[in-house]
Amino acid sequence: MSLRTELDIDIENYLSKKKTLIDNHIKKLFEEDIQYKDPSELWDVVRYSLLNGGKRIRGILCLATYESLIENRTKYDTSFENCLTTACSIELIHSMSLIHDDLPSMDNDDMRRGKPSCHKAFGEAQAILAGDAMLSLAFQLLTEKTKTLSSTQALKLINTLSKGFSLGLVPGQILDLSLKEKNYDLATAEKIYTLKTAELIKASIICGAIIALDNNQIKEVINPLSSFGLKLGTAFQIIDDILDITSDKETLGKTPGKDKKQNKLTYPSVIGIEGAKKLAKELISQAKFELKNIRIRQELLSLLAERIINRIH
């Protein structure tokens, strides 16, 4: 693998190669380690939900941030594997949130990534428990399989991802669930989107920086990168909500039109589809601007940001 140079990135090729790397790393983990086989009633459910065609955007953003910040080849080679393991942890957290999101007591969806959602395939108890195992396994991997990282770095990764979950995803989900049928406004939509989606995207980007940089260097980039991640994450969720209205079941891999049916607060429901598209574009250009004042090769993250608003699923 070579260190990327500016101006020669084929973004589709980059996304596909990194997705394959992450998928293979997850498969290797489950194939090699006997702990993750017994009882099959648990690990088969985990495998079903984890290896079912996710885009791996969050894991890829972690790798891309790492690659955009790292300055020497030797360090790149030593730590790439740590970054790949971290990308797997991130995808474990993300995938378990989708399992729980699909449950009847939450978003109640029968389909995910083009297949029956986890509880539809295996039952509710199994889906809840598989999610629990995936969340804790994500943190276990960061302590066991990132051996060439310092323990300070490993702790920082754990802190960043656990905060993304406890202070991001979960509060965002609870606000989202409680808001149905109540007054809708843009500020509330922004708060929910930031928590539910953007915080984990931000955390994924910060993890890449934690692996690439030392303590002092991190201080210089943390605020602009956090802001980049939050803006990108909000745009990502806005596009998700637009696709819920404009796309079909086959392309989406899940049931479209659910937000309207459930009377959910979304950007399109407050400012319309065109207003939401415009806002997503504006957020991406603000996000890209955040990269201008830090020591980072900007092109890869900028291209990924553009690609995220042009996505079709």
Q: Which residues bind ligand GRG (CB under 6 A)?
A: 54-55, 57, 94, 97-98, 100-101, 106, 113, 131, 169-170, 173, 196-197, 237, 240
Q: What is the DSSP letter of 180?
A: T
User: Shortest gap between Cβ of 170 and ligand GRG (angstroms)?
Assistant: 5
User: Shortest gap between Cβ of 143 and ligand GRG (angstroms)?
Assistant: 20
Distance between CA atoms of residues 248 and 227, nearest Å = 32
Q: Which residue is listed with tokens 């980059």?
A: 14
User: Shortest gap between Cβ of 6 and ligand GRG (angstroms)?
Assistant: 27
Contact present, 68 and 301 (Cβ < 8 Å): yes
Distance between CA atoms of residues 175 and 56, nearest Å = 25
Q: What is the DSSP letter of 291?
A: G
> What is the total residue count of the chain?
313
Cβ neighbours for 169, distance < 8 A, ≥ 6 positions apart: 97, 195, 196, 199, 200
Collapse the DSSP code of 193 into the 3-class scheme (helix H, G, I; strand E, B; otherwise coil) and give the result: helix
Closest CB to ligand GRG among residues 90, 149: 90
Closest CB to ligand GRG among residues 217, 269: 269
- Nearest residue to ligand GRG, scored by beta-carbon proximity: 54
Closest CB to ligand GRG among residues 201, 294: 201
Distance between CA atoms of residues 196 and 199, nearest Å = 7
Closest CB to ligand GRG among residues 219, 249: 249
Closest CB to ligand GRG among residues 90, 294: 90
Cβ neighbours for 90, distance < 8 A, ≥ 6 positions apart: 58, 59, 62, 138, 161, 200, 203, 204, 207
User: Shortest gap between Cβ of 117 and ligand GRG (angstroms)?
Assistant: 11
User: Shortest gap between Cβ of 7 and ligand GRG (angstroms)?
Assistant: 27
Contact present, 309 and 235 (Cβ < 8 Å): yes
Closest CB to ligand GRG among residues 56, 296: 56
User: Shortest gap between Cβ of 147 and ligand GRG (angstroms)?
Assistant: 28
Collapse the DSSP code of 70 into the 3-class scheme (helix H, G, I; strand E, B; otherwise coil) and give the result: coil
Angle at 109 between CA 108 and CA 113, to 5 degrees: 150
Closest CB to ligand GRG among residues 294, 308: 308
Distance between CA atoms of residues 134 and 129, nearest Å = 9
Closest CB to ligand GRG among residues 67, 101: 101
User: Shortest gap between Cβ of 89 and ligand GRG (angstroms)?
Assistant: 14
52 sits in which H/E element: none
User: Shortest gap between Cβ of 99 and ligand GRG (angstroms)?
Assistant: 8
